[in-house]
Structure 1
Amino acid sequence: MSGQGRTTTRRRGLRQWLLLTVVLLVALAAIPAASSPRSSEHYVALGDSRAAGPSTLRFLNDGCGRTAASYPRLIEEWLQPEFFNFAACSGARVEHILDNPQESRSGDARPLQVDAVTDETTLITISIGGNDVRWYDIARACFTKEEGADRECRNDPETRLAAMESLRPLRPRLDRLLGTLQERAPKAKIFLASHGGTVGDHGCFPVVPTSDEDAQFIAEYQDTMNEIIRAAARYAGVTYVDLAKASVGHDACQPQGVKWYEGNVTTSTSLTMHPNNTGNRAFAKLFEDEIKREFRKRVR
């Protein structure tokens, strides 16, 4: 074979090798990474104001306070699901998900949140429980009107009894909620969030207007609530998203940009005693990390 013929053969072989390489790279790119979200997800977000992300600027037309800054909207932006239903509504209790239509701030009766869940649903996030236990009423019993004052709610038998009694119905309500969701959406991965950690181990008038000792009482109450939520998630076999543990050092008494919650006086456009936009972004990231772990399990 002449030198020219050998050169032509080598060039033809190089072109074939390059073509095969391109085909392989395209094929590999088409295979989703184990930790990547799937665009075919049918995502439903349930819950109360901690999911809705209400703002002092405005509520949506339905009166539920659902905003673009909420963690479900941020998850949707990251996940880009095929289907998304944002059913959460400020003020919701478990009964508003399962049993009784909720009257929104606009005066309209909201459909049951569970109606958004079908057998096609593949992903559910939930924040619920704070309104069921009336946690703000317990916290407010510790608030003072003057800086440096101490209500000593931690030592008040009525407040301690009210705190204990408020938590009693939470576990059976969560058990029924999670069981119902599993029946309605057998293919769905369910992610249940803890209540979080609005109050830390000290007060800061007027944002958290309590003594340090009473702030610790409120924090312990939050911890007990979070443990009940964790136990319900474990019993049902759903994923518990531990916002509370991650919130340590981000309570309402921390500086702007560090704190994830507003206190009894808000320093942002977020409502008092609610997560702010920094917190919503942090919560979305915590949910996303847990969702990615579940995606990895699917491909094993």
Structure 2
Amino acid sequence: MISIEPVAAPDAPLARRNPVAKVAAAMVFSFTLLATLDPLAPAIAIAIELAVLPLFGIRYRVLARRAWPLLLSAAGILVTLVLFAADRSGQVLLDAGPVLVSTGVLLTALGLVLRVFAVALPGVIVFATTDPTDLADALIQNVRAPARFAIGALAAFRLVPLLGQEWQMISMARRARGVDAGHNPVAKLRLFASTAFALLVGAIRRGTRLAVAMDARGFDAGTPRTVARRQRFTRADALLVAGALTLAAATLTTSVLAGTFRPLLS
């Protein structure tokens, strides 16, 4: 069963910060890395993210278990660039017919893979340390987001684990009816596409029923809603956002300086 509940120690220094502050810090630290193609900047960012991980109360094993889809993305980027990259500059390392691997290709692939990890890890850390209900409350109170949007997003976020269960149930039901691809890769691809379509149809139907039920319970009313749990944005939360901005600026500055002095050192 897939879980989206927080897995961090609740008393960790950064885990108990305001959810809006954690989301803002993650966005500031991640989006600034999109300004450079140098692999040095995302490498420094990953080192910083792993260094502050204990402050969020997350174990490295738990992070690896949650971030495994990033490994698939990295493998896909590497294979795609090796096969279809237009820039084949640098020293040739492997020449096997249509597959030509050079140092330029590997450097480009390394930069993109590191950037994927550096941009995605803050989001993984934030949502692994934040309760969805607290996030919805913070969006309403601190960001002044519409209650309809925040509570709807909370309901959708709560339904995410059902996708994995639905996929398993559809697959088992089809296998029980004798629908199995066996060892045929083409049949497996077709079965995957049909299962994904069935999952999409079920998700749309469930979302429609949920929207009608929420409207029937007054979630679409224009009257102001009361707040049961206060989410305060304190000075420590502002310092978290400022610290993320400072670290991002320091990372970019180090990358720029390294790129400036690299030709002098070579």
Does TM-score exceed 0.5, indicating one fold? no
Structure showing the higher strand proportion among its residues: 1
| Larger RCO, structure (CA 8 Å, separation 6 or more) | 2
TM-score (norm 1): 0.23
Structure with larger Rg: 1
Structure showing the higher helix proportion among its residues: 2
TM-score (norm 2): 0.25
